[in-house]
């Protein structure tokens, strides 16, 4: 406010604003007393206005260039600035005076025209704040009133949130909750629930992060929100759902807290807070969940952790194996949203560490939901081929499904042996055969679609050429196709003959994949009474996918390989 700003001074008389002159305005402080001073633009000795910022004067900023107020004598005054910057400068002076306690009881409001609804929006920029008292069993209603009033402006929300954090106020509310629950004081329990809901809807990230910072805080928050005044005859059981009985561990881990936090935060978002979260608070909590899940994914990159996870598919009980599929599927979905290099690194580590042991179990499980998850895992992984391959270096990759002594094929000078090794890897149809069985035999339409999509990717003619020139994509494909792939450096894959791969498909898999169409082609009875024809109407989705695959294969594959079959 020290730079003179050109303004017109207006005084309200009756219903008319009278022009009191034009001059230059500054904000000054004399012996601790702040004031506006406007000097005539033609005569600097002529003071048009000297108005002290005092008492409980409310200043309003209107239309970007107006400051309007009523002084302590009852005069209605206005300063109309030539430039927006001048108005903003004097508003900053008001804020400084109030927040530095030179005149702590003055306030500044920003009046924003609401074009759509007609009524102006008034936002408090600075002013005196009424803070909540230390909670007791007699003042919770007044605390709720103060918290509600504080929600009307960003300034009060931020100020009250800071006060709550600085004074450990949340734990004081928790103490009041424990006392009210022990005394079965329902009025106080409902009031505390409303206080917490309102504070959450402040949308202050620091405040919500404090509420969710520890397991103790989360359980306390969930407990308070079990009591809802809208449902006085009903009490939720959030704390029972959040206790350790509801938390499953698939493998023993040292840092269990990040996994618990993931479970707790998702339960809060989806259950405890679901009814009253607005979009902004929902997004804030979702961000906290995402950041914690990224931390989990980084933790899961530990080779020892992955070895523990995939080893449960050797001889552990069925429930543990299914929980392992559910857990990894959850975090693979999350990893899809990571940056490309993070996603590639994580997926590559999964493949190297023995992912196929898990997917092989999942695809052969009797539980349809597990087969669906296993197929989704495969689709997600193979959809990311290029980025995954680009993240694999020329070191040897080991599939931990084999004993350590047998995992490696020693280098040999015999070119025929080397080619034989490549041919074996390229010809393995394990994965494609499993996906074919799922497409043809499974009754779940969603799983059929996933199996179809996975087959299209694995039967793409560019399967060995859509990665970097130094590292062939078959390196990844063979990790997925074989229970026991032998480690080979990227250079060993430079000249894989994909013709052998597709020949293996047409000789080993295609007869089973297209078996129903082959039978249909040889029939002469096309009436509905023929069971072969009736099967089409019973599984139209399958025949649609088979026709799509025929079209895809004849278009993508070399004629010399595909034509003899078709």
Q: What is the pLDDT of residues 215-261, one digit of tens each?
A: 999 999 999 999 999 988 889 999 888 876 667 788 888 888 888 89
Q: 291 exposed, middle or buried (CB, 10 Å; 0-12, 13-18, 19+)?
A: exposed
Residues 385, 469: Cα–Cα separation, whole Å: 14
For residue 386, what pLDDT is reported? 34
Q: Does 100 score more than 70 pLDDT? A: yes
Which region, left, alpha or beta, applies to residue 334 given φ > 0 means left and ψ of -120 to 50 means alpha? alpha
Both tokens assigned to 72:
């302590």
Q: Are 364 and 356 in contact (CB under 8 A)?
A: no
Residues carrying CATH 2.30.29.30, the chain: 5-126
Contact in structure between 156 and 149 (CB atoms under 8 Å): yes
Separation CA 270–CA 391 (nearest Å): 36
Average pLDDT over residues 323-337: 91
Residues 6+ positions from 388 with CB-CB distance below 8 Å: 344, 347, 348, 351, 381, 476
**Tokens at residue 161, please?**
């949130």
Q: Distance between CA atoms of 378 and 355, rounded to whole angstroms? A: 9
For tokens 């859509």, name the residue. 466
pLDDT over 90 for what percent of the chain?
Answer: 49
- Above 90 in pLDDT, residue 21? yes
Rounded Cα distance between 435 and 455, Å, is 7
Containing 36, the helix (H) or strand (E) segment is: strand 33-40
Q: Rounded to an integer, what distance in angstroms lies between the CA atom of residue 213 and that of residue 260?
A: 12
The pLDDT, as a whole number, for residue 317 is: 87
Number of other CB atoms surrounding residue 529 within 10 Å: 7
CA angle 120/121/125 to nearest 5° reads: 135
Question: DSSP secondary-structure letter at 34?
Answer: E
Residues in the chain: 566
Which uninterrupted H or E stretch holds 107?
strand 107-112
Share of the chain above pLDDT 70, in %: 83
- 131: helix, strand or coil: coil
Bridge partners of 451?
none
Give the single-character DSSP code of 38. E
pLDDT digits (tens, 9 = 90+) for 281-290: 899 999 999 9
Site of tokens 């840092």: 255
Q: pLDDT, tens digit, for every residue of 515-542? A: 888 887 777 767 767 776 777 777 788 8
Cα dihedral 355, 359, 361, 366 in deg (nearest 10): 160
Q: Which fold has domain 5-126?
A: PH-domain like (2.30.29)
301-338 as b/e: b if 16+ CB within 10 A? eeeebbebbbbbbeeeeeeebbbbbebbbebbebbeeb
**463 alpha-carbon distance from chain centroid:** 32
Residues 368-420: tens digit of each pLDDT: 899 989 888 888 887 765 334 333 333 333 333 333 333 333 333 433 333 33
With contact defined as beta carbons under 8 Å apart, do 36 and 51 qualify? yes
Q: Is the pLDDT of residue 170 over 90?
A: yes
In the numeric block, which tokens belong to residue 98?
């109030």
> Which of 131-140, 332-341, 403-412 has the highest mean predicted lDDT (pLDDT)?
131-140
Confidence of residue 112 (pLDDT cuts 50, 70, 90): confident
Least Cα distance to 230 among 266, 182, 197 occurs for 197
CA distance 488 to 494: 11
pLDDT band at 464 (very low <50, low <70, confident <90, very high): low
Given a cut of 50, whether residue 40 has pLDDT beyond it is yes
């Amino acid at each position: 406010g020290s730079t003179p700003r050109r303004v017109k001074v207006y005084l309200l008389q009756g219903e008319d604003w009278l022009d009191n002159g034009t001059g230059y305005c500054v904000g000054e402080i004399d012996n601790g007393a702040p004031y506006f001073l406007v000097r005539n633009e033609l005569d600097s000795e002529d003071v048009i206005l000297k108005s002290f910022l005092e008492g409980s004067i409310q200043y309003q900023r209107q239309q970007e260039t107006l400051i309007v107020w009523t002084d302590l004598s009852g005069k209605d005054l206005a300063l109309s600035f030539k430039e927006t910057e001048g108005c903003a400068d004097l508003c900053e002076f008001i804020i400084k005076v109030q927040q530095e306690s030179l005149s702590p009881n003055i306030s500044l409001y920003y009046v924003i025209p609401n074009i759509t609804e007609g009524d102006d929006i008034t936002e408090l920029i600075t002013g005196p704040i009424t803070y909540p008292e230390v909670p007791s069993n007699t003042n919770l209603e007044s605390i709720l009133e103060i918290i509600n009033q504080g929600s009307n402006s960003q300034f009060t929300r931020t100020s009250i949130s800071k006060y709550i954090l600085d004074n450990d106020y949340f734990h004081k509310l928790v103490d009041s909750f424990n006392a009210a629950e022990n005394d079965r004081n329902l009025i106080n329990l409902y009031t505390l629930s409303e206080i917490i809901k309102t504070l959450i809807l402040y949308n202050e990230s620091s405040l919500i992060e404090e509420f969710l910072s520890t397991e103790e805080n989360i359980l306390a928050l969930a407990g308070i929100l079990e009591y809802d005044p809208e449902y006085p005859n009903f009490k939720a059981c959030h704390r029972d759902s959040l206790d350790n009985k509801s938390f499953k561990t698939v493998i023993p881990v040292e840092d269990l807290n990040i996994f618990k936090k993931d479970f707790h935060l998702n339960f809060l978002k989806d259950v405890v807070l679901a009814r009253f979260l607005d979009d902004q608070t929902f997004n804030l909590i979702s961000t906290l969940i995402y950041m914690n899940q990224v931390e989990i994914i980084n933790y899961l990159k530990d080779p020892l952790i992955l070895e523990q996870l995939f080893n449960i598919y050797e001889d552990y009980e069925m429930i543990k194996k299914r929980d392992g599929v559910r857990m990894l599927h959850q975090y693979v979905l999350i990893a899809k949203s990571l940056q490309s290099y993070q996603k590639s690194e994580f997926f590559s580590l999964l493949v190297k560490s023995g992912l196929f042991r898990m997917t092989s179990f999942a695809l052969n499980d009797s539980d349809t939901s597990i087969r669906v998850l296993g197929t989704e895992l495969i689709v997600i992984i193979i959809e990311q081929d290029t980025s995954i391959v680009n993240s694999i270096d020329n070191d040897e990759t080991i599939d931990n499904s084999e004993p350590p002594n047998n995992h490696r094929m020693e280098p040999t000078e015999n070119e025929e042996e080397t080619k034989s090794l490549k041919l074996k890897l390229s010809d393995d149809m394990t994965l494609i055969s499993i996906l074919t069985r799922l497409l043809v035999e499974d009754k779940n339409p969603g799983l059929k679609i996933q199996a179809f999509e996975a087959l299209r990717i694995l039967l793409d003619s560019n399967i060995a050429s859509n990665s970097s020139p130094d590292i062939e994509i078959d390196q990844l494909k063979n990790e997925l196709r074989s229970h026991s792939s032998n480690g080979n450096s990227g250079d060993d894959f430079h000249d894989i003959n994909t013709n052998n791969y597709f020949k293996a498909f047409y000789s080993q898999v295609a007869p089973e994949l297209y078996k129903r169409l082959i039978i249909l082609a040889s029939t002469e009875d096309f009436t509905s009474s023929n069971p072969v024809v009736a099967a089409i109407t019973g599984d139209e989705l399958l025949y649609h996918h088979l026709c799509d695959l025929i079209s895809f294969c004849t278009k993508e594959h070399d004629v010399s390989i595909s034509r003899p079959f078709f």
